[in-house]
Structure 1
């Protein structure tokens, strides 16, 4: 809503009202100055003692009223000048906005030849600012570097987490081997020497049988 065109229209309205008020108040001041119109309020009877005093006070009231009208007219002149400056400023902004839109969508259409094919519109790209392009490239480079650092950091964190998990797993396996080894030693200690020999013989016999089967295969 608050576009340059809107403020331009507001400026025109204020300018018209200011001109109308200046004309009206100026004419009223002239009429009061020449005493061509009656006053709104007459001089009170207690303020004068003679006819000459009444005439003097009445004339003074006319002059004061005319002066007030002219002062108000001067104020409206100032508002009119401000309205003119506002219209000029809004017109410049509106023109700049139109030029920006034309630069964003600039098309050039060559003249058509009679009876010939309709030429295609040729797009004219907007001129690039080298400084802005350089700034954009630097920002893109910084962004890529930050992303690369973040990826490296995440990768290192993953490696550390995997190492911690592997260490915990090895520790648990070692604890389990120690526990089972102690249990096995306790079981072997409980067995008698004859049971140990019998178990060894059975294991040797099973080993020989397995070798024979593998040989005959």
Structure 2
């Protein structure tokens, strides 16, 4: 009996659809490592579905500097990790926890010895990455909106203290440009304008105020 005939008889005898049988055969041909990797990706995909998702996305421009931002479904404003890194003049973009040091949530470039005295409790509390999905469904990372101005303040203080190294001066320059505009316009307002987000709560308050005039 040839192999094709035997395979067809097996599928009919066990009432297994041809497509399912084919999938079973392919799975059986995979190595243990290949099956483990497929299972890992499936779990990761299911887990990612439960992450908060951005409903609005945009870019804030600070002169030649561009910072990617987003607003989640619950109204939380974020600076994307990529926007944070590139906006401060970091050539490499962030890759999740790879850029973090042990026992701290701070990005690695903020944990160097000469900057440690300028890391406040407020800044450290805002440093935790927030995992979310983009509007396209891709998993990525971000920071609370107030983290960016806090980091800018850190570099301003370090520069005034005269402790910056040569490779930190470009970051300080970017931070100064960003900080000046954030102080003028406010971080939340700039994110809302860049993303086109309108807080429903504010809209309701405006409508109620208008109605009270009648």
Shorter chain as denominator, the TM-score bin is under 0.3
Task: Give the structure with the higher percent helix.
Answer: 1
In our comparison, the structure showing a higher alpha carbon Rg is: 1
What TM-score results when the alignment is normalised by the length of structure 2? 0.23
What TM-score results when the alignment is normalised by the length of structure 1? 0.23
Task: Give the structure with the higher percent strand.
Answer: 2
